[in-house]
């Protein structure tokens, strides 16, 4: 019997209007069966909950990655970038870590990072992160909303973009959890209109 692939996570983070928000849907799917509709995949961590994390991938792997990152965050006094770099260094030495099929979206007031189970750290220039099964759908919708719906907050953009992803991705549902923080990072420079 072959192992069923676990799907069913869409995590989105948006930095907009002096805030950063992270949201996720609640669906967990094994094969073609929805196993859970209300999973909580977005959590505050660190001292005072000043870091938000959303996780995607195989559940055990994602929770292992989250635990390791939280441990590094504690060791480095809440410095998100330093904790991420130290976690990436561990990948080079730990065979079990290198095999994790998971990703984290990690944000604080200054940084938006993607941490992967293969040891990569990515900081998108526009402050928009989409990971998981519907990540590309959600991040595309968020980019459009940031450009054209200037009156929406970061939290509203995350909610709306995740709803759009749920209309497109069969592994994403509309049971959305969103958390947000104040952001000190300035917004990215406007991109030229490509029309």
Tokens at 154, concatenated: 């970061």
**How far is Cα 106 from Cα 117, in angstroms, rounded to an integer?**
13
Reduced to 3 states (helix: H, G, I; strand: E, B; else coil), residue 135 is: helix
Q: DSSP letter for 159, please.
A: H
Given its phi and psi angles, is residue 77 left (phi above 0), alpha (psi -120 to 50 degrees) or beta?
Answer: left
- Structure letter (DSSP) for residue 42: E
Give the whole-angstrom CA distance, residue 102 versus residue 59.
Answer: 8
Within a 10 A sphere around the Cβ of 95, how many other Cβ atoms? 7
172 flagged as catalytic: no
CA-to-CA distance for 130 and 126, rounded, in angstroms? Answer: 12
Closest CA to 141 of 169, 121, 122: 169
Selecting among 9, 29, 64, 172, the annotated active-site residue is 9
Judged by DSSP in three states, 77 sits in coil
- What are the residue numbers of the active site? 9
């Amino acid at each position: 019997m072959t192992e069923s692939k676990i799907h069913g996570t869409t995590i989105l983070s948006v930095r907009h209007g002096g805030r950063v928000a992270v949201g996720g849907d609640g669906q967990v799917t094994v094969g073609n069966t929805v196993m859970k509709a209300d999973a909580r995949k977005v959590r505050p961590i660190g001292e005072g909950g000043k870091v938000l994390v959303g996780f995607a991938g195989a559940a055990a792997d994602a929770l292992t990655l989250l635990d390791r990152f939280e441990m590094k965050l504690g060791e480095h006094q809440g410095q998100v970038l330093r904790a991420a770099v130290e976690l990436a260094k561990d990948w080079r030495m730990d065979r079990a870590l290198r095999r994790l099929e998971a990703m984290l979206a990690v944000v604080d007031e200054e940084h938006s990072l993607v941490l992967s189970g293969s040891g990569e750290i990515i900081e998108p220039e526009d402050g928009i992160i989409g990971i998981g099964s519907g990540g590309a759908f959600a991040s595309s919708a968020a980019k459009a909303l940031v450009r054209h719906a200037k009156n929406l907050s970061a939290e509203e953009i995350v909610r709306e973009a995740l709803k759009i992803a749920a209309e497109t991705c069969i592994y994403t549902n509309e049971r959305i959890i969103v958390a947000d923080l104040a952001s000190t990072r300035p917004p990215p420079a406007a991109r030229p209109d490509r029309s």
